[in-house]
Amino acid sequence: MRAVAVLAVLPDYRRNFVVELQKSFADSDDELVLVVGDAHLDRTVKSASFPGVVQVRNRALLGRRILWQVGVMKHVRGTDVAVVDLNPRSLTAWAILLRRKLARQRTLVWGHIHPRRGAAAATAPLRRLMRRLADGVISYTWSDGRRVRTEDRSADVWVAANGLYPSSLLDYSPTSSRTRFLCVGRIEPAKRPFLALQAFALALKSGRLAADTRLTFVGEGSQHAELAIRVQDAGLSDRVDLLGHVSDFARLRDLYSESIASLSPGYVGLSLTQSLGFGVAMLIADDEPHAPEIELATDRTSRMFRAGDAESFATAMTEAAADPEQWDRESIVQAVRDTYSSSVMAEGFRLALDGTRQEAR
């Protein structure tokens, strides 16, 4: 089998998935080529450099609304199976889907089943059309996989759940010291970092947080400089950390091991997968356009607060800090290990390429 996956971008957080997927091809006669663009329509989302991965130039058109990937078609010709993004903004994905449909060549789409705004969004019908043109769907989440099967019982569906770390690395380590609230993600308006700072200041003012409680931001983005100014203006420079981008697993593990809970002041996505993989529950805004990974948020793994409400957010923080061990962190890790590791993700993707049935989880 010769397979190709053409993706808009392949960020650094996909590194473990790529390694494990490539490993599954190393001892077989099958061949996989990964072709990725350099940067997405959102310029903050860029591809990392991976051994054995072909990187091409992405061209943004119509005011950065549409994407075309230069020089991709030569990598697709002659392949037994191709995978493209389930993203109607990608002209490249449409071109590959239509060409291979006419040639009766097997093509799969991979991505979120619906836009972040849900099934009623304007582009949702286009995603459904892409699914129908394809010979199968690879979903990012288990709930999306079930949704596709409900909408189209004849569809072939696999799940490559959005995992970040190998199952072997996901392990719970008890600790007696949890004094940190951790906010991991891009410092962008949709993530609402200023709300986290405001809520933390209110929680401190209430006098219900221990004297050594800290707020830590991990990530970069367009609001990073403004956030630093606001921290200083609030007189919280000795209580708030701005660490920038951190990808080192050991460093992240240490940060999470010191955390009472992680925070999602805006919409949640992969940061929930990451946090739960380290056994750390998350405080989540209840009414934001969350990514489908929100399926992991249950009473056992998270607490909700009113979206955009700093007082409600502060209350959630103080309640979490009052009993840092209210969550069964070991079972949280086990659930992610079984369903959302990069190992499970690579396995699901490989089964889809092979056309082999996948067991539901």
CATH 3.40.50.2000 domain range(s) in the chain: 2-163+341-354, 168-338
The rounded distance, in Å, linking the Cα atoms of 107 and 265 is 38
Average pLDDT over residues 22-29: 91
Confidence of residue 132 (pLDDT cuts 50, 70, 90): very high
Q: What is the pLDDT of residue 154?
A: 84
Q: In the CATH scheme, what is the code of domain 168-338?
A: 3.40.50.2000
pLDDT of residue 127: 94
State CA 234 to chain mean position distance.
31
Q: Which CATH superfamily is domain 2-163+341-354 in?
A: Glycogen Phosphorylase B; (3.40.50.2000)
**pTM (predicted TM-score):** 0.86
Q: What is the pLDDT of residue 58?
A: 96
Query: Kind and range of the H or E element at 131?
Result: helix 124-133
pLDDT digits (tens, 9 = 90+) for 88-127: 999 999 999 999 999 999 999 999 888 777 777 778 899 9
pLDDT digits 0-9 by tens, 140-192: 999 899 989 888 888 899 999 989 999 998 887 777 789 999 999 999 999 99
For the segment 301-324, the average pLDDT, to the nearest whole number, is 96
How far apart (Å, rounded) are the C-alpha atoms in residues 257 and 19? 26
* Residue 205 DSSP class: H
- In three-state secondary structure terms, 102 is helix
**How far is the C-alpha of 194 from the C-alpha of 293, rounded, in Å?**
23
CB under 8 Å to 85, separation ≥6 — which residues? 6, 7, 8, 93, 109, 110, 111
- Are 137 and 158 contacting, i.e. CB atoms less than 8 angstroms apart? yes
Mean pLDDT of the chain: 93
User: What is the pLDDT, as a whole number, of residue 120?
Assistant: 73
User: String of b and e for 319-354 (b: at least 16 CB within 10 Å)?
Assistant: bbbeebeebebeebbebbbebbbbbbbbbbbbbbbe
Q: What are 217's two structure tokens?
A: 């931001």
Q: What's the confidence (pLDDT) of residue 113?
A: 87
User: What is the C-alpha separation between 182 and 16, in angstroms, rounded?
Assistant: 23
